[in-house]
Amino acid sequence: MKIENIILGILILLLLGCGEKAETKNLEFEKVIESLNSNDDKRGFLEKVYEEDQKVRDGSKDAELMLKYGKDSKEHMEYIQAQWKQDEINLNKVEKYIEKFGYPKKKELGKDAAIAPWIVIHHSTDTAIRNRNFEILYKAYLAEDIDDTAMSLYLGRTYEFTFRERFRMENPYRSEDEINQLIKKLGLEKRKANVQKSIQR
């Protein structure tokens, strides 16, 4: 048997193994989310997601690793990859939670629980993920479950990833003006109208 065929076989097995692990994880999340019966359960689940998101974002550790080993070092890249891995897990959790329960209400579950889905989505660098969650986040903003600063940051970062430049507006302006301008620039006006219609029904 050729060495290339052996290597190909190993790669296929590894990929299949990764797929199975991801599928198992998804099923585990779904079971946990299905078991969230009370507001206390939901609060605990979302606060844990928030905690996990923050745990892998230690600014002093990041700076320390860069200074000690360099930005492109193995040590620093391992730290960044741990962030990416946790972000992927968290995104899976919050999207499944939203699918089941909708966006968490700040009045019912508290600030940390309500901000958890936003912060996880906001940390994604994938514009497709950011855009597919626009309507749920815009609805949460209108319901005051996330504030205008959070909405501006999310849209501003989406703009940056889309156009490779920062969005700028001439002062003075209100947060609402910035949000509306960003929605227009990102081509999300139709989705914004869909959210407003769904609220009026």
**In terms of domains, do 27 and 43 share one?**
no
**In terms of domains, do 14 and 109 share one?**
no
pLDDT at residue number 10: 47
Residues 159, 127: Cα–Cα separation, whole Å: 9
Identity at 184, one-letter amino acid code: K
**In terms of domains, do 137 and 162 share one?**
yes
- Number of compact structural domains in the chain: 2
Identity at 98, one-letter amino acid code: I
CB 104 within 8 A of CB 139: no
pLDDT at residue number 26: 60
Residues 53, 83: Cα–Cα separation, whole Å: 8
Per-residue pLDDT of the chain (201 residues; tens, 9 = 90+): 455 444 444 445 545 554 444 444 566 778 899 999 999 999 999 999 999 999 888 766 777 777 777 777 877 788 788 888 999 999 999 999 999 999 999 999 999 999 999 999 999 999 999 999 999 999 999 999 999 999 999 999 999 999 999 999 999 999 999 999 999 999 999 999 999 999 887
DSSP 12-26: HHHHHHHHHHHHHHH
**In terms of domains, do 16 and 53 share one?**
no
Alpha helices in 2-109 (DSSP H): 3-34, 39-55, 59-69, 74-101, 106-109
The burial class, CB within 10 Å (0-12 / 13-18 / 19+), for 149 is exposed
Helices (H) and strands (E) in the chain, counts: 11, 0
**In terms of domains, do 16 and 82 share one?**
no
Residues 120, 150: Cα–Cα separation, whole Å: 12
Residues 154, 123: Cα–Cα separation, whole Å: 9
What single DSSP character describes residue 104? P
**In terms of domains, do 26 and 74 share one?**
no
pLDDT at residue number 191: 96
**In terms of domains, do 17 and 113 share one?**
no
**In terms of domains, do 11 and 109 share one?**
no
**In terms of domains, do 29 and 60 share one?**
no
pLDDT at residue number 40: 97
Residues 65, 82: Cα–Cα separation, whole Å: 14
Residues 6 or more apart whose Cβ sits within 8 Å of residue 192:
138, 183
* Structural domain boundaries enclosing 117: 39-200
**In terms of domains, do 158 and 113 share one?**
yes
pLDDT at residue number 21: 47
CB 130 within 8 A of CB 121: yes
**In terms of domains, do 127 and 157 share one?**
yes
Q: Tokens at residue 152, please? A: 């501006």
CB 155 within 8 A of CB 186: yes
**In terms of domains, do 45 and 27 share one?**
no
First-last CA distance in the chain: 66
